[in-house]
Every structure is written in C-alpha cells, then in structure tokens.
Amino acid sequence: MNESESFQIQVTRRTVVEAGTTALLLAGLPHTALAAGPGEADPSTPSATVELTINGHSHVLNLDPRTTLLDALREHLALTGSKKGCDHGQCGACTVLIDGRRINSCLTLAVMHDGQSITTIEGLADGENLHPMQAAFVEHDGFQCGYCTSGQICSAVGMLSEAHAGMPSYETADLANTRPELTDVEIRERMSGNICRCAAYPNIVAAIKQSAGIRS
C-alpha cells in the first residue's frame, strides 16, 4: 500500500464533517478571540461597572452585563448563602431583599440594581443576634436539609412587610382590609413561590406566625 492509498483510507466521512464544523466555528470567531491564549480573558467580552450596596456595604464590580445578581453574589462576592436551585425562578432558594422587596436573584441582572440596597441571608442577623425570623425557624425546626432555608427566610421577611403594607394575595377575602389576617392558608399562598424539597411546610408556617406575633 503506497502513501496515497493510506491517506485515502484515513479520510472518512466523519473526519470531513469534523474538519468542516471546526472551520465554520473558527470562521465565526472574532479575531481577538483567536488571538487570546489559553486561560486569557476574551478582550471583546463587554463589561460594565456596577456599585452594589449589599448588607450595608458598598461593592464596586466590573461585570459582564449579562451576569445575574445571584452569580454576582456567589461568584464575585463569596456570599453563598443565596442558593442556586433551579436557576429559573421556580424554587425561590435564591430569594433576596432589594429595598425591602423580595426578588428571585437568579432572574435579575446585577447591573439593574446599581445603587439599590440589597439584603441577603448573611445580612439579616445583627452580629451574633439572629433576626427574629431566623430564631423562629430554629425554634420550630423550619428546615431539614437547609438548602432552601435562606430563600425561605428572606421571602418570609419580605412577605410580612408586604402584608403589613396591606398588599393582598389570591387568598385575601377582604381587599378593603389594610392589614390582611395572616391565616395558615394566607401564609401558604404568600410563600408559594418558595419550594421545600423536605416538605417542612407546617414548621415554616409556625415559624412565620411566631415571628409575626400570631398565636396558633
């Protein structure tokens, strides 16, 4: 077998497809990306400077404008209390408070909250003193694996503020009532965006009622 025959045998349909795909991918890359060495940042990637006030402390970050608030907290500031559960806004494990309002941090971009006050689970306690909601969760065993707990607590704090402000829920019977009664059904509806895979819901409701000063 001569050299020409050997080459013809090695060139298969698969190698032709792989070579063509690689060529197309390389043709679509900008010149700057091709010039970057291994481990080097692509200089063509856009960046934005954002100042986030988190738990009372200011942080100036240079971020890809597509960075979610959750990723900014976890990957850039090492605030890992906010959990990445579904990353689709369905489980509530990433809930934080922005200017007192609860929000899923996986569904919002960090650059959208420049200058706003952000509170994570790490910022609720006052030094060694737990926030009343945190203390209630401990007392009523409102968590098991603990993965959803930070989001549950932040959501519960925001939910009580909403109720105190007179904001109704789907279960609110009297919309004219400026202070809706926080029954078990009302609390469950208002907390329905936070999922507990361990199903500690009765204990969570009990903890929220204690924090709100409601006797069972």
What is the rounded CA–CA span in Å between residue 147 and residue 80? 11
- Name the burial class of residue 83, with classes exposed (0-12), middle (13-18) and buried (19+) by CB atoms within 10 angstroms of its CB: buried
Q: 20-24, 111-115, 138-142, 207-211: lowest mean pLDDT where? A: 20-24
CA distances from 169 to 104, 155, 165, 207, 213 (A): 18, 14, 12, 20, 20
Residue 84: per-residue pLDDT: 97
Residue 73: per-residue pLDDT: 98
pLDDT confidence of 16, banded at 50, 70, 90? low
Residue 210: per-residue pLDDT: 96
User: Given a cut of 50, is residue 6 above it in pLDDT?
Assistant: no
- Name the burial class of residue 20, with classes exposed (0-12), middle (13-18) and buried (19+) by CB atoms within 10 angstroms of its CB: exposed
Comparison of pLDDT for 35 and 72, the residue scoring more = 72
Which residue stretches of 11-95 are H helix? 13-28, 31-35, 69-71
| Rounded (10°) CA dihedral 162, 167, 168, 173 | 110
Percent of the chain beyond pLDDT 90?
A: 72
pLDDT confidence of 215, banded at 50, 70, 90? confident
Residue 14: per-residue pLDDT: 58
Q: Which helix (H) or strand (E) holds 48?
A: strand 48-54
Residue 15: per-residue pLDDT: 61
pLDDT confidence of 44, banded at 50, 70, 90? low
Q: Determine the 3-state secondary structure of 103 from DSSP.
A: strand
Closest alpha carbon to 50 in 100, 125, 108:
108
Residue 178: per-residue pLDDT: 78
Residue whose structure tokens are 């309002």: 101
Residue 29: per-residue pLDDT: 47
> What is the rounded average pLDDT of the residues 192-213?
96
pLDDT digits (tens, 9 = 90+) for 101-151: 999 999 999 999 999 999 999 999 999 999 999 999 999 999 999 999 999
- Name the burial class of residue 114, with classes exposed (0-12), middle (13-18) and buried (19+) by CB atoms within 10 angstroms of its CB: middle
Closest alpha carbon to 31 in 44, 14, 17:
44
User: Given a cut of 50, is residue 19 above it in pLDDT?
Assistant: yes
What is the average pLDDT score of the chain? 86
Number of H helices, E strands in the chain: 8, 5
Comparison of pLDDT for 173 and 190, the residue scoring more = 190
